[in-house]
């Protein structure tokens, strides 16, 4: 067999290599920690731990920087990174984007925690701006639901209830029941830190760096950008408006 033949035949079996994100569409890459229920079982406060959250924010920052995302949203052990329709990193190759985003998240979080952890990764495509808004509303609703449930679950567990019994109490119950359960225990869910109920956003902000040129003796100004961490996101329709404003500014 000629070397060129084997090259072509082997390359052809790299079957998924040609897959690319649909051109001209918004995209979100979402990474999620593998078996983080187990990881957080010991050594982290329940239901939420500020140190754990800081590690997730650091991981989201690494993804924003390495992939040049427009916006990141993190809740629990997941991070969604939004990309504009014209974003062309790695020529939009799916395998590259999914594998490297998982790798970047895994490496960044592992360095933070000092142990080996891994993240999975998937891609969501947004054919319209309103679907992108819906996507982030969906993840935020998930954050709120999980936070309320988590607070209830751990309130019961801390009273000595078994895991199975606590899950049974909460199964099929709605928001009102869960809010009441917490209220009876002196916890007002609305007073729980916003990052737990609403998640956290990361976005680029512009700032002007003042400097001095010793050669000319003149003051200089340079526009730079840096990541802003928003720990008090709006919710529901206000969050829709927040995301829509971000999409519009990207288009401008
Ligand atoms: N103790 C603690 N656990 C957390 C925190 N944030 C996320 N987790 C855990 O991470 C899990 C994430 O859910 P999921 O991805 O479905 O679980 P996985 O499949 O085990 O990674 C939650 O169920 C929690 O157990 C936190 O701040 N503190
Ligand atoms: Mg997970």
Q: How far is the CA of 51 from the centre of ligand 2 (A)?
A: 17
Residue 62, classed as helix, strand or coil, is helix
**What's CA 64's distance to the chain center, in Å?**
10
Q: Which two tokens stand for residue 58?
A: 């650091």
For ligand 1, is residue 119 a contact (CB within 6 Å)? no
pTM of the model: 0.95
Residues 125-144 have pLDDT tens digits of 999 999 999 999 999 999 99
Report the alpha-carbon distance of residue 183 to residue 197 in Å, rounded.
16
Report the alpha-carbon distance of residue 175 to residue 24 in Å, rounded.
39
Percent of the chain with pLDDT over 70: 100
For ligand 1, is residue 54 a contact (CB within 6 Å)? no
Which residues lie at CB < 5 A from ion ligand 2?
32-33, 36, 77
**What's CA 193's distance to the chain center, in Å?**
18
User: Is the predicted pLDDT of residue 2 greater than 90, yes or no?
Assistant: no
Nearest to 90 by CA among 33, 27, 133, 32: 27
Give domain 10-198's CATH architecture. Answer: 2-Layer Sandwich (3.30)
Report the alpha-carbon distance of residue 120 to residue 48 in Å, rounded.
21
Residue whose CA lies nearest to ligand 1 atom number 23: 37
For ligand 1, is residue 48 a contact (CB within 6 Å)? yes
**According to DSSP H, which parts of the chain are helical?**
3-12, 36-39, 50-67, 94-113, 129-158, 163-170, 175-183, 194-198, 237-251
Q: How far is the CA of 244 from the centre of ligand 1 (A)?
A: 29
Domain range annotation of the chain: 10-198
Please give the biggest Cα pair distance in the chain. 77
Q: How far is the CA of 39 from the centre of ligand 2 (A)?
A: 10
For ligand 1, is residue 154 a contact (CB within 6 Å)? no
pLDDT computed for residue 185 by the predictor:
96
Residues 24-67 have pLDDT tens digits of 999 999 999 999 999 999 989 999 999 999 999 999 999 999 99
Report the alpha-carbon distance of residue 36 to residue 87 in Å, rounded.
31
Average pLDDT, the chain: 96
Ligand closest in space to the Cα of 196: 1
Residues 150-205 have pLDDT tens digits of 999 999 999 999 999 999 999 999 999 999 999 999 999 999 999 999 999 999 99
**What's CA 93's distance to the chain center, in Å?**
21
**DSSP 8-state code for residue 42:** S
Which ligand 1 atom is nearest residue 78's CA?
15
Residue whose CA lies nearest to ligand 1 atom number 28: 48
Q: Are 239 and 140 in contact (CB under 8 A)?
A: yes
Which ligand 1 atom is nearest residue 44's CA?
1
For ligand 1, is residue 36 a contact (CB within 6 Å)? yes
For ligand 1, is residue 46 a contact (CB within 6 Å)? yes
Q: Does the bond joining 47 to the residue before it have cis omega, within 30 degrees of 0?
A: yes
Nearest to 85 by CA among 131, 16, 140: 131
How many CA atoms are closer than 13 Å to the CA of 172, on its beta-carbon side? 2
**Dihedral-angle region of residue 91 (phi above 0 means left; psi in -120 to 50 means alpha; beta otherwise):** left
């Amino acid at each position: 067999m000629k070397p060129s033949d084997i090259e072509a035949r082997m390359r052809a079996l790299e079957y998924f290599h040609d897959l690319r994100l649909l051109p001209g569409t918004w995209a979100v890459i979402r990474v999620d920690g593998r078996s983080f229920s187990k990881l957080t079982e010991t050594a982290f406060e329940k239901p939420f731990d500020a140190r754990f959250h800081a590690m997730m924010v650091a991981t989201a920052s690494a993804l924003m920087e390495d992939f040049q995302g427009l916006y990141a949203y993190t809740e629990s052990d997941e991070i969604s990174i939004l990309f504009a329709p014209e974003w062309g990193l790695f020529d939009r190759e799916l395998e590259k984007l999914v594998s490297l985003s998982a790798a970047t998240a895994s490496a960044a979080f592992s360095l933070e925690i000092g142990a080996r952890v891994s993240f999975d990764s998937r891609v969501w495509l947004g054919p319209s701006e309103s679907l992108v808004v819906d996507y982030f509303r969906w993840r935020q609703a998930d954050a709120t639901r999980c936070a309320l449930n988590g607070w209830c679950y751990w309130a019961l567990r801390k009273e000595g209830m078994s895991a199975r019994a606590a899950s049974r109490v909460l199964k099929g119950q709605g928001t009102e029941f869960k809010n009441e359960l917490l209220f009876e225990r002196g916890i007002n869910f609305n007073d729980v830190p916003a990052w737990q109920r609403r998640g956290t956003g990361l976005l680029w902000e512009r700032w002007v760096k003042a400097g001095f040129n010793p050669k000319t003796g003149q003051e200089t100004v340079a526009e730079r950008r840096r990541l802003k961490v928003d720990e008090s996101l709006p919710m529901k329709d206000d969050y829709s408006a927040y995301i829509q404003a971000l999409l519009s500014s990207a288009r401008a």
